[in-house]
Amino acid sequence: MLDAPELGDREYDRLYDELVAIEAEHPDWVDPASPTRRVPGAVREGLRPVPHGRPMLSLEKATTEDGVRDFDRRVRELLPAGTAPEYVVEPKIDGVSVELTYRDGRLELASTRGGGEVGEDVTENLRTIRMVPLLIDHPGELVLRGEVYIHTAALAAVNEAKRAAGEPEFANPRNAAAGSLRLLDPRQTAERPLRLAVWEVLEGTARPPTHSAALEWLDRFRIPRQRRLHRCATIDEAWARLAETAEARRDLPYEIDGAVVKVDDYGLRERLGRTARAPRWAVAYKFAAERATTRLLDIRVQVGRTGVLTPVATLEPVRLAGTVVSQASLHNEDLIREKDVRVGDRVVVEKAGDIIPQVVEALHGERAGDPPRWRMPRRCPACGAEAVRLEGEAARRCTNPACPAQRRAAILHFSSRPAMDIDHLGPAVVDQLVEKGWVREPADLYALRAQDVASLERMAERSAQNLIDAVQASRAGRPFDRLIHALGIPHVGATVARTIAGVYRDAPAMLSAAPADVAARLGEEHAIGPKIAEAVRAYLAAPDTRAVLQHLVDAGVSTVPVEAPAAAAGGPLAGRAFCVTGTLALPREQVHALLRRAGAEVHETIKKTTTDLVAGEKVGKSKLERAAKQGVRVLSEAELWALVPKE
């Protein structure tokens, strides 16, 4: 990111060769931070999980000027009256986020963002990026976060080489960076023209008091960092910089998908805190979606895990927001009819949030002739069963619970990270397992044998054993809410799954309860809406779906109860039970901890025994109505801090 080498390439190579010769003659002189040690000689077994000391959170997003100004308003309301925060605006590079830890001057650890709480160890791969110093003059610990990325021109060269070798190309710079950084062989990573730009100084001895000064401070260590940052005294100035960045994005040598506005002062950041998902001191401004025009070649139908048939457009490949797009969402048959989209049309495509391509409109003026209107098939394209559309729903669904497409999607959901977290079980493997009839439901995964899996395409003995080991690792010890989420019950996501797991300790307890009683307890005691409660009741009442959970129990899949931490005995709030809702100045889990330390019970939802509801910003109307109906006291955030001072 400095782009200011002190030596030419020829002189660098001469000195490098001289160092290699010296180290060969004197092996005991070799330093681990030597440039010759950037690329180790061995391929690793896998990427080791690494917990982050502080979660790598996502950012709240804004897509309009009003959204950016709302961010400024929220910041000012949370800070003492009269505080005038200054901001920094910087481009949001489209790459893969990493965390680097230097200890006593040596690069000790580098990890990916992962799921936010836990990433993957990519230290050896990151060491291959020549612009990253392995040794710096900094005592103690220095923790940095940044983006590994690739220049657009460099990606074109990489893809040209991959075409010549008959290998699949990278779709976009982000995929190229992420795929290269996670390679098991660092020697392959070293061949990729990766770069690093640090955008956050998390910890550091003598770190300056502001973000902008801290990034400039990194120059003394020759650490590559985000250099296109602008200090702004007001939100008006910040908005002007955002508009300039959006205009300049085409002139940058790398892809950006937006720009970030950050509070500059670290002290103010600490006061602002964070929510469970994002810091309150930053917002990501997403640029308006790019659009492109291409031809619609076909409309095919995908079948999801709940049986929903979704039309997908097959397009003439077109470059859009840094990606070559060849398919896009059409959502449902009503949208196709409303927009009058027909095969053969010239269509306008955009990326929703620069992520999901979708067809915006058909250019009827360029239509040739009168092609037939497209109609949703009345039978499932995967299994041939009848596909029905229930009254009041936009979707058409396959009626066959044994549909292979539904099975495939259900297994992928079951094994996903938020659910049972089974590594090595990708779409290609699941396709083969379902096609061969070896896996019809999740419980069948636990009966797989390594020798059978090794017979699948592109599988070997080691990779087969890795898959079996990952499956068996999920057999015991996962929290019960993860299993509930993995079942794929309609409308039941991670949050509702945690609530259900707070009612029933494990799967046998849930199976032993009458389905109607389960629904009643969720609705009456935990304020779960009737639609979700009915979905849970229907899942447990239907023989086919109930059997899925029973078979998992029979296969020896066991979970650990999701226990809420106990309240401290004898605290000032002993005997009271709080439910916290809305957005507060501190993360939800931190508020819960403060309440428990003061002796209060904490409820995820309003129960019969709840005494107080703490209502922050953006509180749902139903929560307030339920509190009023049950006689629960409603406290503002200020009233909460009067009871439990912030630490």
Catalytic: which of 92, 262, 286, 351?
92
Q: Which amino acid is at 284?
A: A
Alpha carbons 94 and 148: distance in angstroms, whole number: 9
H helices of 133-181, where? 152-164, 173-181
- Who contacts 393 (Cβ-Cβ below 8 Å, separation ≥6)? none
Round to the nearest angstrom and report the end-to-end CA distance of the chain: 39
Radius of gyration of the chain (CA): 28
Please count the other Cβ atoms lying within 10 Å of the Cβ belonging to residue 544. 10
Q: Is 575 helix (H, G, I), strand (E, B) or coil?
A: coil
DSSP string, 512-526: HS-HHHHHHHHHHHH
Tokens of 295: 């031809």
Q: Which of 58, 59, 65 is nearest to 287 (CA)?
A: 65
Active-site residue, 623 included: no
Alpha carbons 452 and 461: distance in angstroms, whole number: 10
Element spanning 97, H or E: strand 96-103
**In terms of C-beta density within 10 A (0-12 exposed, 13-18 middle, 19 or more buried), how is residue 228 classed?**
middle
Element spanning 49, H or E: strand 49-51
- Who contacts 303 (Cβ-Cβ below 8 Å, separation ≥6)? 309, 310, 380, 381, 382, 398, 403, 405, 406, 409
Alpha carbons 148 and 134: distance in angstroms, whole number: 16
**In terms of C-beta density within 10 A (0-12 exposed, 13-18 middle, 19 or more buried), how is residue 582 classed?**
middle
The CA–CA distances, whole Å, from 235 to 87, 214, 239, 256, 625 equal 7, 21, 6, 21, 37
The two beta strands, 141-149 and 96-103, are antiparallel
Alpha carbons 215 and 229: distance in angstroms, whole number: 9
* Residue showing tokens 């970030």: 260
Catalytic site residues?
92
